Structure 1
């Protein structure tokens, strides 16, 4: 790959994370948290905190780090341990960071694919690993949906405050997740050649045609790795699914732990509401879901908090742990790729200069 190609690749990947998205995401988060706190705040609320419960917030931080660990373990396992633990942690943190500052409709998968190529894995294989990771998440959704439907016979899983429109939206979300999971399963596990055909068709368009040769080769790699995955034993899939499931269970547990760190609550219903809420997060189009996830937290979990004045405090603590800490760690991980890129560019420039001097 030439220095120009490398620069173009970095530019294209870097454009997925912009200062604009980051600023919008943080601004929406601050504004929405401010609104929730303003609506629910009662003077003297901090006097009602139970000191013996507050250590639970440190447990929440530990669970957040566990979520990163399971995400990194899943990536390393799917990559057949071709990259080390530090590389996997960098990719996982970069993926979380990208998800936090890009529109939910884009997600962090494209940036995660780029990060894996920077760790030395071919683009085709990186794409397949990321897609397979997403597929495992879809399997988790497919498992979560019937759990919520069955639990709905015994618990008020969906808050009555969302009304008919909210219930219809959740049904559409469940249906969409199952359909998308079916599409990925077919493309990766049943007929991998169909994925190659889709990629080749996309890059026949005039404005993408110049990349067609390279992407056709990468589509071959994607197809090849997909066939490799099909040959893996059941144990491989079960272990990978375990990592994916544990990561999502950590995500679901975090708001529950935060709330129980402030005051008692109905544990089972909190878990079910948190699961339903996390599925609803997937359709919020704003960067990182900011502005929407805070509102959904108040709608889904707020009614289960005995003291209304604690709702804003719970939202604040939850977002600090799951969002702002994630952004901080993600910036550190992403900075590594940026610095590595700059060092490579300087090395390439120096090599070109030496070649010119030799001529």
Structure 2
């Protein structure tokens, strides 16, 4: 994908930002209207200050973990200020782009404009993506053991087929993520050329030929990124792995804090909420709306409604404010300042992130 300043900013126009806001608030507004007669707001008056504070502590810890990770994954090339900006813009991109697309391409462009070579930019983004996926495939079996497999939401008998479909979809998603993570790890760390050949072989058939150009480019990116990571120390990978476990544990725990702030839940409930959040995130992963807007709100009661009852819609609003709308606001603040710093007084220059010439040389 080619990126330049003009195309980058096209992802962050007011219209693109307003679309997910309108979709999400419309979904929440409808839920408030639908449940207004039965809604119970009494938990608001009995909120637990400790867990409210913990919600913001966990959010801060999560972001600090991301900032630490990007600084150390880039081998301290980024200073702390630049690390903050990169993470805020990365989160911003994830909020305004569909979950199935994500913000990885934008992140590679941002790192490249910070002065890193294109190869290193791609390598560092691939490292974070690989670590994120590895955390998921390791954490899921652990929560399965802790909850005795009870990680799927309880539904009525009439909705039993829905639960079965969710379990099947989750199982398939888990296997696909595991396959992709191990393939990426093998390609980055052991034999990128072999993985490139797999990409090309998979797109050599009539039904898959339309993706051959993309497979060719992605294969070249993988080879290039692997070259940048040669010689990385054990300490480098340990830092990446531990910081990833840290930030994703904090990320999943935000819902626990919000629910615990307004209702009494046991340790077992905490484990159950944490584990269901993993299934919930898979639902959002395949969302076609920017940042999962609308889908995140509608799916939330299915996974966590049993802990909140008639107070669920209020928690949905609070959850989306602190994990989604907050980053839209922060991203809107950081983006123009970053563009001014990086592009200086000549923002009209069309500096592109283009992989075509590189692909031709590296093949």
Coarse TM-score class (shorter-chain normalised): 0.7 to 0.9
Q: Offset of 1:70 from its aligned partner?
A: 0.9
Q: Is the 8 A contact 2:151 2:275 kept in 1?
A: yes
Normalising by structure 2, report the TM-score.
0.81
Q: How far apart, CA to CA, are the structure 2 residues paired with 1:110 and 1:164? A: 35
- How many aligned residue pairs are there? 331
Q: Show CA shifts across 1:225-248 (max 9, x none).
A: 524534323332122111111111
- Name which of 114, 117, 126 aligns with 1:122: 117
Q: How far apart, CA to CA, are the structure 1 residues paired with 2:109 and 2:171? A: 34
Q: How far apart, CA to CA, are the structure 1 residues paired with 2:92 and 2:279? A: 23
Q: Is the 8 A contact 1:40 1:311 kept in 2?
A: no
Any residues of structure 2 matched to 1:238-277 within 5 Å, and which? 238-265=238-265, 266-277=269-280
Q: Show CA shifts across 1:10-49 (max 9, x none).
A: 1233334444432221111112222333334456733343
- Aligned twin of 1:164: 164
- Aligned twin of 2:353: none
Structure 2 residue 145 is the aligned partner of structure 1 residue 142: no
Q: Is the 8 A contact 2:263 2:307 kept in 1?
A: no
Instruction: Supply the RMSD in Å over aligned alpha carbons.
Output: 3.2
Q: Show CA shifts across 1:249-303 (max 9, x none).
A: 1110001101111111222222222232223321112110111111222110111
Structure 2 residue 286 is the aligned partner of structure 1 residue 292: no
Q: How far apart, CA to CA, are the structure 1 residues paired with 2:249 and 2:332? A: 25
Q: Structure 1: where are the runs of 5+ without partners?
A: 1-5, 350-359
Q: Is the 8 A contact 1:200 1:219 kept in 2?
A: no
Q: How far apart, CA to CA, are the structure 2 residues paired with 1:271 and 1:300? A: 11
Q: How far apart, CA to CA, are the structure 1 residues paired with 2:306 and 2:312? A: 9
Structure 2 residue 187 is the aligned partner of structure 1 residue 187: yes
Normalising by structure 1, report the TM-score.
0.82
Any residues of structure 2 matched to 1:1-359 within 5 Å, and which? 9-42=4-37, 45-51=40-46, 53-152=48-147, 154=148, 156-161=150-155, 162-193=162-193, 223=223, 225-265=225-265, 266-305=269-308, 308-341=309-342, 343-345=344-346
**Segment of structure 1 superposing worse, 229-238 or 120-129:** 229-238
- Residue 278 of structure 2: SS of its match in structure 1? helix
Q: Show CA shifts across 1:59-84 (max 9, x none).
A: 21221122111111111111110110
Q: How far apart, CA to CA, are the structure 1 residues paired with 2:275 and 2:45? A: 25
- Residue 288 of structure 1: SS of its match in structure 2? coil
| Alignment CA distance shift 1:342-1:230 (3 Å) | closer
Q: Offset of 1:157 from its aligned partner?
A: 1.2
Q: Structure 2: where are the runs of 5+ without partners?
A: 156-161, 204-208, 351-363
Q: How far apart, CA to CA, are the structure 1 residues paired with 2:40 and 2:143? A: 33
Q: Is the 8 A contact 2:143 2:275 kept in 1?
A: yes
Q: Offset of 1:183 from its aligned partner?
A: 2.2
Q: Is the 8 A contact 1:187 1:195 kept in 2?
A: yes
Q: Offset of 1:333 from its aligned partner?
A: 1.9
